[in-house]
Amino acid sequence: MFGDMFARGAVAGETGEQAWLRAMLDAESALVHALVRVGLAATEDAEAVEAARRDGRVDAEAAARRAADSANPVVPLVRELTRAVEGAAARHVHQGATSQDVMDTAAVLVARRAGGAVLAEADRAACALAGLAEEHRRTVMPGRTLLQQALPTTFGLAAAGWLHAVTGAADALRTELDRAPAQFGGAAGTLASLGDRGPAVAAAFADRLGLARPALPWHTDRGPLTAVASAAARTAAACGKVAGDLVLLAQTEVGEVAEAAGPGVGGSSAMPHKRNPVAAVSARACAEQVPGLAATLLTAQIHQPHQRAAGAWQAEWQAFDRLLCATGSAAAWTADALERLEVDPERMRANLEMTGGLAMAERVSSDLAPELGRLDAHDLVQEACREAAESGADLAEVLGRRLAGRRTPERIRELLDPAAYLGAADAFIDAALDAYRTRPEGPG
């Protein structure tokens, strides 16, 4: 019932129990290949392990049923894999490793694979935002602070701001995914059972999986995972910001954007007239889950006691998986919302003009400041704004009376034109688009 909403897009297939099982088996297989590389096992041993996987001889369901007996799923999985491997090769299954080596490496593999899906969705959202920024660089709209109209801006600049946040977050996530290392330290982080060839096995293990080589085991240093989690949380936040703004802009009283309607999409169970921004709402719902999941990981990173944790490590798994899935889903929904977004420039301009020119008060006072002094100019315009608000008159009419002999009606209308008071909006849009067009491409 909840899957389509909270497991949106390709990330759904790269998270969950099956994804973790696949990653754990990938780690076990890579370990035997690493042993072959340093001369501790033969090529046929690695082939026997691959055959057991390929032929479906590993009873993963039996392993899952017994996971609670050892407080982690690796112990029963190793037993099942060892049972499934034929001949002498079985003695090389899990050789030199501990359960945490396999589970932590699986976590990095899941993060890399799910992260690729997150980045693909974030790139889709970014592509849509870049198009909106360019298309609407001249579309004037109210800039809002504290939910009140402030100064004019453009929808293109709003989209450029969203674009820069999404791409910056995605780039940070890509960096953390690229440098997340494999885990290999053995029972107490010394690799004692492998003698002086332990570091070589660790390096070969990482290389086989395409992961960064660990400088040393990080059993109780959870930085590699919390760095990924934090970057993912930043990505979810960037998407959630876009979605939240779209929801507000789609309000009936605002009506500046809308999601394209379709059969059965965006409707209400009780109110036929409603056109709900369902993709933006769903993106926000997914993004809202991520901070709590990240907090779980940040709390659990204080691993104690001593060389291996008791409880804190186990607390990470489900939270990390759900965080990755929620982040990817937030990005996918955000991209959906943007790709079907309808922008109403006329409504934006009309909303800006609702205040009768009050949003341009700053420009008028700035124009008068050299002549009257900053404070006197501010006070004059503030009184004019108060009169306009209380009487319902346009600010141009009130200023025409108060500035008679100082400014012509034509000059006052020019000062109150929002399209002429956009500052560096164009330059900022160009900066965001340039950064987007020159950024690294591809998943982590």
Burial of 278 (0-12, 13-18, 19+ CB in 10 A): middle
Which of 91, 268, 386, 391 does the annotation list as catalytic? 268
- DSSP E strand stretches across 85-145: 140-145
Using CA of residue 191, residue 194, residue 197, residue 203, what is the dihedral sign? negative
Which of 112, 174, 308, 322 does the annotation list as catalytic? 308
CA atoms within 13 A on the CB side of 416: 23
The pair of three-digit structure tokens given for residue 405, joined into one six-digit string? 């002999």
Assess contact for 183 and 214: CB atoms under 8 A.
Answer: yes
Q: How far apart are the first and last CA of the chain?
A: 31
Task: Decide if 91 is catalytic.
Answer: no
Task: Decide if 365 is catalytic.
Answer: no
Which is nearest to 152 in space by CA: 346, 338, 361, 342?
361
Which is nearest to 310 in space by CA: 92, 121, 149, 70?
70
Beta-carbon contacts of residue 29 (< 8 Å; ≥ 6 apart): 46, 49, 50, 53
Q: Write out the catalytic residue numbers.
A: 268, 308
